[in-house]
Amino acid sequence: MLTGLPANIYEFMEWPWEKIEPYLHELGERPLTAENSVEWLKDWAQIGDMISETYSRLSVATTLDTTDTAAEEKYNIFIETIMPPAMIASQRLKEKLLASGLKPEGYEIPLRDMQADAEIFRDENVPLITEEQKLQQEYDKVAGAQTVQWRGEEKTLSQLLPFRLDQDRSVREDAWRAAMERTLQDRAALNELWTRFLKLRLQMAKNAGMDFRAMKWKERHRFDYTPEDCYSFHKAIEEAVVPAAARIYDKRRQMLGVDSLRPWDSEHQIHVDPSGKPALKPFENVSQLISTSSGIFHKVDDQLGDYYDIMMEERLLDLDNRKGKAPGGYCTGFDTSERPFIFQNAVGIHDDVQTLLHEGGHAFHAFEMYQTLPAYRRTMPPLEFCEVASMSMELLAAPYLAESEGGFYSATDTARARIEHLEGVITFWPYMAVVDAFQQWVYTNPEAALNPDNCDQEWSRQWDRFMVGIDYSGLDDIKATGWHRKLHIFQIPFYYVEYGIAQLGAVQVYGNALKDQANAIANYRKAMALGGTAGLPDLFAAAGAKFALDTPTLSSAVSLVEGVIHELEPAMG
Ligand SMILES: [Zn+2]
């Protein structure tokens, strides 16, 4: 147990590097033996968690209000003066542990991860990582400033979403075009930002002595699949999913009675209800969203519901859309306080409910780890499995969206919402394949990718390959710049295939719950409680799923989802 650290995280957040450094220095100097290794790991976790919580809290503050210059200043001071030396110090401690040859119990997977970190770590990349984080903020700023004049009012692009779901085709076309044309205005700025991102990344890879993809593979701890497996996954998606997605798009086209399905009728995630009913309106205000969701989580599992109630009581949910808030939704962890935090931009549409269920799954994953594992064994679980936690929750919670179960909707609307979600599961895979195939191309053709025109072309090529059934004719510029609107490509390179892998796990967890909910949830929770102590195949197995990226596994997932859709269709009336 380290002494002299403040009991209060807010006090620690004011500490300059000079006060933090001695703790890490002492850990570096302390002899490390079989007898004291657990205590050494505990001490490291204690200071490491405080640094990580400081980062999370400062970073959250910048996303709550992108115009808050004081928050930005604090964040910048942290990423400039504390993060770089802390990363170097932490790397030295990893090296010390690796060099000791000690294998503390249950530490096989973290040691494997540390080994990979050590292979790619370069001191000279630390300032480049800081620079990359600043570029990420620039991307957020560009996106956060995107507003349009809509019927005399200034609206964020998120606030335009309800109009993109309007039953009047011309209204939704106007709203869609307004949003797209606004992002096109930033085309040159985003292209310029892109080349700065890419040059920086290529330099980092050069410093590490390998290509960027190989570096990311190690950094992302991808030990259980290769780039080749990703290409096979794309092919399996092309074979097993693209035809099913095309069937969904064609069904929508027929229901709408239109000659061709245009992007303002349906994109892969956002689409007007083809039955002609107005968009689902799950709640009038965010407090309703918050309280109704509590009931739903309790129906899935009482303990998970209790976790969520803690977040309500402790104000760990910031869900409403406000101007100046960064886009999107996320869940992060405050490691010393042992609490997750959820951020989103709710505007009153069904997607907001879906986002909260998703982020709720992440939050429960964090709670399970905080409850089960001692701090020093709480290493990061693989992201592929983090998304199994969140995507499973979307599916597991779906039956309880009904008012009769304490949820938001009538029986008819529940069927609508569930069909929409399940169709989204299918239509997501091809879009994910576009994003992943595009990034595979970027980082295996980096010279070409420095020219944004080539990126436009490659994105269009992959789009045409996977996104069959939506008519983009006459919209070439908007189609070609789709990668500008995918923040992962700018901010978290290569992070996307994880969602596709995870969806495959989530559908299997859901399939188990259809047979025996209590047993499926028990396995799901057990797998989450393993945190980062097991590899992907073991985590999937613990959750009752098979880890495989092939056509047979995808085909059976697709038929399971299509089967549930067909069962729900009569309930829509
Ligand atoms: Zn997620």
Residue 273, domain member (yes or no): no
Residue 25, domain member (yes or no): yes
Model confidence pLDDT, tens digit, residues 524-557: 999 999 999 999 999 999 999 999 999 999 999 9
Alpha carbon of 387 to ligand 1 centroid (Å): 5
Residue 457, domain member (yes or no): no
Model confidence pLDDT, tens digit, residues 213-249: 999 999 999 999 999 999 999 999 999 999 999 999 9
**Rounded Cα distance, 109 and 297, in Å:** 31
Alpha carbon of 392 to ligand 1 centroid (Å): 11
Alpha carbon of 497 to ligand 1 centroid (Å): 12
Mean pLDDT to the nearest integer, 18-42: 96
**H-type helices in 121-226, by residue range?**
126-144, 157-164, 169-185, 187-208, 212-219
Mean of all residue pLDDT scores within the chain:
95
Alpha carbon of 358 to ligand 1 centroid (Å): 6
Alpha carbon of 434 to ligand 1 centroid (Å): 18
Alpha carbon of 487 to ligand 1 centroid (Å): 14
Residue 370, domain member (yes or no): no
Residue 100, domain member (yes or no): yes
pLDDT at 165 over 90: no
Alpha carbon of 309 to ligand 1 centroid (Å): 20
Would you place residue 49 in the very low, low, confident or very high pLDDT band (cuts 50, 70, 90)? very high
Residue 39, domain member (yes or no): yes
Q: Given phi > 0 = left and psi -120 to 50 = alpha, else beta, which region is 531?
A: left
**Rounded Cα distance, 95 and 110, in Å:** 13
Residue 316, domain member (yes or no): no
Would you place residue 197 in the very low, low, confident or very high pLDDT band (cuts 50, 70, 90)? very high
Model confidence pLDDT, tens digit, residues 245-272: 999 999 999 999 999 999 999 998 888 8
Alpha carbon of 23 to ligand 1 centroid (Å): 34
pLDDT at 55 over 90: yes
Alpha carbon of 359 to ligand 1 centroid (Å): 6
| Residue 273: per-residue pLDDT | 85
Structural domain of 95? 9-105
What total number of domains does the chain contain? Answer: 1
Amino acid at 532: G
Whole-Å CA distances, 351 to 190, 269, 449: 27, 9, 33
Mean pLDDT to the nearest integer, 207-213: 97
Residue 397, domain member (yes or no): no
b/e string for 365-378 if b means 16 or more Cβ within 10 A?
Answer: bbbbbbebbebbbb
| Residue 406: per-residue pLDDT | 95
Would you place residue 105 in the very low, low, confident or very high pLDDT band (cuts 50, 70, 90)? confident
Alpha carbon of 383 to ligand 1 centroid (Å): 9
Model confidence pLDDT, tens digit, residues 465-523: 999 999 999 999 999 999 999 999 999 999 999 999 999 999 999 999 999 999 999 99
Whether 267 and 475 have beta carbons less than 8 Å apart is answered as no
Alpha carbon of 3 to ligand 1 centroid (Å): 36
Alpha carbon of 218 to ligand 1 centroid (Å): 21
Alpha carbon of 151 to ligand 1 centroid (Å): 34
Alpha carbon of 384 to ligand 1 centroid (Å): 9
Model confidence pLDDT, tens digit, residues 397-456: 999 999 999 999 999 999 999 999 999 999 999 999 999 999 999 999 999 999 999 999
| Residue 270: per-residue pLDDT | 86
| Residue 528: per-residue pLDDT | 98
| Residue 57: per-residue pLDDT | 98
- Cα angle 125-492-116, degrees, rounded to a multiple of 5: 55
Whether 330 and 2 have beta carbons less than 8 Å apart is answered as no
Alpha carbon of 6 to ligand 1 centroid (Å): 32
| Residue 445: per-residue pLDDT | 98
| Residue 11: per-residue pLDDT | 96
| Residue 327: per-residue pLDDT | 83
407's tokens: 């949820």
| Residue 276: per-residue pLDDT | 86
Alpha carbon of 360 to ligand 1 centroid (Å): 9
pLDDT at 296 over 90: yes
pLDDT at 374 over 90: yes
